[in-house]
Chain A
């Protein structure tokens, strides 16, 4: 129940700068998801927030308090670890009580809080078991329960779902989201899974090499990515990219095909200039052949039930289109496709920044 403010935050490991300079404000009660590929600094940032890592520059505030040198034990943050990090020699009840005992809380109050959190998470039947006797999903809940009982200012989650199987993951994902709405606590959630980010976040922070690429609501980062990296990272399957050149009137792919129907784009690319055209698989529509932007030679078909993924080559690049399953495309067939108007993006080939 506190906002977080990071100002010009720097984190180094020896000579290696993991986070060069980072500014981020997280509002009170906000559910923020830090997302990015492995090594992008998202977990490091979370550990910095927890107080498990020192800061090498800048300032960090939790609430009104500057916590730069404050040890983890005194920050009033709770963290759910990727491997759960339960205390193996303690029962579930002891695991959940431990932090409260460290704060010399009244025994009755501890018992009440543990019971309440256990009910909330449906782990009350296991309170007297050791972690060893629990399944992965149950351990995950205990780890969350351990955080909840503390009623901390900030909740931190370090990829807590990555050790669960797919079905359980979807379930716990929904539960965490529901929990966040119930608890109204500031939550920071780290994941490399963009689906988790999209489904849970109030705001998503996309990171790469320790630098924030974009901060925005799930809709914003999906609809208006700030650059090619964000565009490729958010969305599954990933956005299709194809290098194009422009003459002020028409866009031409590297294999010489012109792309009609993208005139509004063509004007943004300077004559003889080049750009990267990006279109999401779900924004490629099957159209009559004379309106087609590309004729896709289908290489591979992946039926998903709800829709079908069609793999093809677009000017030598791998591309995917998401089409209705009723079309029953077959490999070897030719499918006329065009970007849905207003849903394609242009990126600068050098910087990757979006061209508006």
Chain B
């Protein structure tokens, strides 16, 4: 094995792998680094060319965020909408994924996927008209409901393979043991896909948190989410890059923190030992 791994052609492959990984890492991390660094720069420095790497860091951008905008309120709005739509996505998506896995009737899941893949602008006008009619524009519910279009398909498609991986005989044993389908879902299936629930929750949270379009149109100044509010930093004549970058850095934090906290849930393998080892 080791002699195979040290063959010159293999070593070349390893080197190419490393180079590619470094390139990918730079491509992913460079904008993030630029964002974080810029948030600590004075506005004129942000757009300086060539970009400055060494500079006098300042917290002015962050200070002005809280002074010039109701940043905390926007953050709270974002949290309400994101947590609400993630929960709604879980409540709707988890049973749906279970039923799709159980019955092997997949078309409903595919319909939700198509809805997810369709451009958001497709929904925007009908929704605007609908919510206008029921006087829900600017409410949290309008945002939570519309963001469920983002979160529910994520939950369904992340959970589906987790449910599929549970041996069918485990469900059948529960049936014979006297469980109704609802109880099987609640007592057997859900606990066994706990790691899937964690993964889908994070993904749903992140996608909902970052979704810009619906909040831009369906919220008002009281319910505006962070991502929609940060749009205000882009003016017609000039853009407050420092402020924008400070806002972007803060916006990026919650999903990141969440992912770190629930990392231990991301381990799978709970179903091991269900059947023959």
- A89–B187 Cα distance when bound, in Å, is 10
Please determine whether B176 and A87 come into contact, CB atoms closer than 8 angstroms: no
Please determine whether B276 and A88 come into contact, CB atoms closer than 8 angstroms: no
Query: Do A78 and B176 contact each other (CB < 8 Å), given the known contacts A85-B169, A85-B170?
Result: yes
Query: Do A52 and B273 contact each other (CB < 8 Å), given the known contacts A102-B183, A146-B177?
Result: no
**How far in angstroms is the closest Cβ of chain B from A77?**
6
**How far in angstroms is the closest Cβ of chain B from A48?**
13
Q: Is A108 an interface residue (CB 8 A)?
A: no
Q: Is A170 an interface residue (CB 8 A)?
A: no
- A130–B272 Cα distance when bound, in Å, is 10
- Which B residues are in CB contact (< 8 Å) with A83? 167, 169, 274-276
Please determine whether B192 and A73 come into contact, CB atoms closer than 8 angstroms: no
Q: Is A98 an interface residue (CB 8 A)?
A: yes
- A72–B191 Cα distance when bound, in Å, is 22
Q: Is B173 an interface residue (CB 8 A)?
A: yes
Task: Using CB atoms, name the residue of chain B closest to A71.
Answer: B175
- A134–B167 Cα distance when bound, in Å, is 18
- A182–B177 Cα distance when bound, in Å, is 22
A83-100 interface with B by 8 A CB criterion: 83-89, 98-99
Please determine whether B179 and A73 come into contact, CB atoms closer than 8 angstroms: yes
Could you mark each residue 184-195 of chain B with 1 if its beta carbon is under 8 Å from any beta carbon of chain A, else 0?
A: 000110011010
A72, A89, A103, A139: the one contacting B176 at CB < 8 Å is A72
Most buried by B among A83, A87, A88: A88
Most buried by A among B167, B169, B175, B176: B176
Q: Is B277 an interface residue (CB 8 A)?
A: yes
Please determine whether B179 and A102 come into contact, CB atoms closer than 8 angstroms: yes
Please determine whether A87 and B173 come into contact, CB atoms closer than 8 angstroms: yes
Please determine whether A85 and B173 come into contact, CB atoms closer than 8 angstroms: yes
Most buried by B among A73, A102, A131, A133: A73
Q: Is B126 an interface residue (CB 8 A)?
A: no
Please determine whether B176 and A79 come into contact, CB atoms closer than 8 angstroms: yes
Please determine whether A88 and B271 come into contact, CB atoms closer than 8 angstroms: yes
**How far in angstroms is the closest Cβ of chain A from B93?**
21
Could you mark each residue 60-81 of chain A with 1 if its beta carbon is under 8 Å from any beta carbon of chain B, else 0?
A: 0000000000011111011101
**How far in angstroms is the closest Cβ of chain A from B167?**
6
Could you tell me which B residues sit within 8 Å of A by CB distance? 167, 169-170, 172-180, 183, 187-188, 191-192, 194, 270-277
Could you tell me which A residues sit within 8 Å of B by CB distance? 50-52, 71-75, 77-79, 81-89, 98-99, 102-103, 130-136, 139, 146, 150, 163
Which 6 pairs show the lowest CB-CB distances between chains A and B?
A: A132-B273, A83-B275, A99-B177, A85-B169, A85-B173, A102-B178
Sampled A-B contacts (26; CB under 8 Å): A50-B176, A51-B176, A71-B175, A73-B175, A73-B178, A79-B173, A79-B176, A81-B173, A82-B169, A83-B169, A84-B275, A85-B275, A86-B170, A86-B173, A87-B170, A87-B188, A88-B192, A88-B270, A88-B274, A89-B192, A89-B194, A102-B179, A132-B272, A132-B277, A139-B276, A150-B177
